Structures are given as structure tokens and as C-alpha cells.
Amino acid sequence: MSVFIRNKRYTGPLQGAILDWAGTAVDYGCMGPADVFLKVFNEININVTVAEARQFMGLMKKDHIRGMCNLPSVVAQWVSQHGRKPDESDVEKLYERTESLMVGAIADNAELIPGVHEAVQGMRDRALSIGSCTGYTTSMMDVLVPIAKEKGYSPDAVVCSSDVPAGRPYPWMCYLLAMKMDIHPMESMVKIGDTLSDIQEGLNAGMWTIGLTKSGNELGLTEAEVNALDLTDLHSRLKAIEANYSEVGSHYIVEGIWDCLPIIDDINNRLAKGEHPMDQLGK
């Protein structure tokens, strides 16, 4: 097998796509995880908003809890109730409860997002391997992967945050997937996700990135809720999400997985010209 050596620009096609799970491939609106984080904090009489619960979505779940515990509103309530700030032992207790609730939430929110079948088949037709990574742990994915397979979605490789030293925005899950799928170089892969940390992960891994605005965490609405929105309101919200993706450096921004095949073709054209994912980033 001929192995690419980095003494020149890679000009071959994309070899792999790495998809996030909730909000990208399943669970339109990323509703399951958000509901769990709200419940976990409400159970201990700490009030958090939906926006606060979603702020750290995409991270390893323990990192998500840790981030929420550092929010000024949470710290203030914690000090009022306990006379101190939340510490790592509190994070551990909250995480234990989160993990137990998350398994049920995952099973209840495992419907495939419209367009997943067509997008994945189109990628396979273009000779791409399909990898997936997630902030979920192995025990959580042991529930979701079989359900998704029954519904017709089965990636070639699955990596969880618990499989690597650290989750997003570190690139380790993408690196492990590249090894599992025998793909090199990293610029021959594209990361597709619905959170800012998905994009940061892909950028850190040296990959192309596609941010999804409509189906996932950043909008945070079910498909029915999206369809019921006033179009002007929806457009305004999506524009704000696009701006956030642009700020973190996403190469492409689309509404959902259903829009990704033309992007795959465009990336292939750019690669053939010797373009690299880092080319568009500022110095």
C-alpha cells in the first residue's frame, strides 16, 4: 500500500467522515441530554436554564457537569445552600446521577434525523468510511448503537469520550477513529457536528469541518418545534448560529446532515487543487 508522505500537498479525495451522534445523526434538537442535565440540577434544587444546560454540549459528560458547576448562577446558588462552591466531589456525584439518567434518555431519543440514510449512503458511494464520536461514554453508547443499527444507521467505527484521555475539543477521538479506519492524512477526513466543540475538535485534528445549524444543540428545538416557528424568527436564530460557527472557524455551515453531500464534493474539488483545511485560517 502506498502511504502518503508529507513532503507535498495531499491531492487525493476524502477518505472518511466523522459524524457526531445526538443532534447530527439521531435525536433532532439534541433533546435527550439537555433534559437530563436540567433534571440532575433541579433534583438538588439548583435552577439552571435550558441555555445553561446546553452551553457545554458536545463535551465529555463529566466535563459538561464541571462546566455547569462553574457557571456564576450555579456557584451563587450552591454557596447560598451549602456555604461553599461546588467541588470535584460534587461533580462526581452529579455525574453518577447523570450517567444513570442518560441511558434512559438516549433510548427514548434515538430516532434518526431525516436525511441520515441518504447522506451516509451518498458518502459510502463516494468511497468514504463513516466514523462516529461522541461525548457519551461506552455504557451509554452500548444502548444507542444497537438501536441506531436497527433503524438502519451503523457507522464503521465508534469512539466515545471514555475511550481517550480527554474529550472535545481535544482531537484524540478523531485520531483514534483515523487509526481504526486506517485513514491518513487527517486532511482526507471531514468532521460533521452540531456543536461548537465538534468544530473545534475537527480543527484541532487537522480536518475539514461542517457545522449544522438546524437539527442540533445550537438551535435546540425538535423538528415539530422548528416547523412551527415563524420563518423570520427561524431565519434570525439560524443566522446567529452561523455567526458562532464562523467565529470558531468552521469551514462550512449548513442546516443539517441532509445538506452535506454537495459539501463533500466541494471539499474533494478543493483537495484536488492541493488545498488544505488550515489554508483558510488566520495566522
User: From CA 179, how far away is CA 226, in angstroms rounded?
Assistant: 38
Instruction: Order across the sheet with 157-160: list the strands.
Output: 157-160, 129-134, 16-19, 189-193, 208-212, 252-254
**Residue entry with cell 475511550:** 163
Q: Which residues contact 143 (CB under 8 A, 6 or more apart)?
A: 103, 106, 107
Question: Is 61 considered catalytic here?
Answer: yes
Instruction: Say if CB 185 and CB 9 are below 8 A apart.
Output: no
Q: Are 193 and 21 in contact (CB under 8 A)?
A: no
φ/ψ (deg, to 5) at 193: -160, 170
Whether the link from the prior residue into 185 is cis, omega within 30° of 0, is yes
* Cell numbers found for residue 12: 487525493
C-alpha cell at 132: 462516529
Radius of gyration of the chain (CA): 19
- Produce one character per residue of 238-255: b if its CB has 16 or more CB atoms within 10 Å, e if not: beebbebbeeebbbbbbb
- The residue annotated as part of the active site, out of 61, 62, 191, 214, is 61
Number of residues that this document lists for the chain: 283
What count of Cα atoms within 13 Å lies in the side-chain half-sphere of residue 129? 18
Give the HSE-up count for residue 107: Cα atoms under 13 Å, Cβ half-sphere.
9
Q: Which of 20, 63, 163, 259 is labelled catalytic?
A: 20
Residues serving a catalytic function are 20, 61
